[in-house]
């Protein structure tokens, strides 16, 4: 598997775990990493803090947030000299519940940094930027923007 494939798999695994409501699994992806705002200010560091952030902030419906996270247009720039890679991606989140019709609820960009350690790629940092906001009232327990 190439470095690009390994990184794309991590991007997809994040989406799968989020859509299943597997917050501990998301935390594992950030065991050696952190979530940050668009300026790099840390929001959560390490597996437990990341999992707790999602667990406390995300509404679930029978164990699932009833979302579909899509990451697209990923530009992967590996730095072979440092075993790191910078990745820019766009995201869109769709949601549907019993009383909420299917719709895009948020779009934006991720700026990810990955590190290659012990033969595998890992998240080092994910920065979130929000571009467009829809109705997040069925998804999050807090206000955004």
The whole-number average pLDDT for the span 77-103 is: 95
The whole-number average pLDDT for the span 133-143 is: 96
Structural domain includes residue 144: no
State the pLDDT confidence band at 45, using cuts at 50, 70 and 90.
Answer: very high
pLDDT at 108 over 80: yes
The whole-number average pLDDT for the span 23-29 is: 98
The whole-number average pLDDT for the span 27-40 is: 97
With contact defined as beta carbons under 8 Å apart, do 29 and 48 qualify? no
Structural domain includes residue 141: no
pLDDT at 80 over 80: no
| Boundaries of domain holding 104 | 3-133
Structural domains in the chain (count): 1
Tell me the CATH number at 123.
3.10.450.50
State the pLDDT confidence band at 81, using cuts at 50, 70 and 90.
Answer: confident
Structural domain includes residue 76: yes
């Amino acid at each position: 598997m190439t470095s690009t494939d390994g990184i794309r798999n991590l991007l997809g695994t994040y989406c799968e775990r989020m859509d299943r409501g597997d917050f501990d699994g998301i935390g594992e992806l950030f065991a050696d990493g952190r979530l940050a705002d668009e300026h790099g200010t840390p929001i959560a560091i390490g597996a437990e803090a990341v999992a707790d952030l999602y667990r406390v902030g995300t509404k679930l419906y029978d164990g699932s947030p009833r979302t579909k996270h899509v990451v697209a247009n990923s530009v992967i720039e590996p730095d072979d000299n440092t075993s790191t890679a910078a990745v820019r991606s766009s995201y869109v989140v769709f949601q549907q519940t019993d009383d909420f019709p299917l719709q895009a609820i948020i779009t934006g960009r991720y700026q990810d940094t990955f590190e290659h350690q012990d033969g595998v790629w890992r998240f080092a940092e994910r920065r979130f930027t929000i571009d467009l906001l829809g109705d997040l009232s069925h998804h999050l327990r807090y206000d955004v923007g």
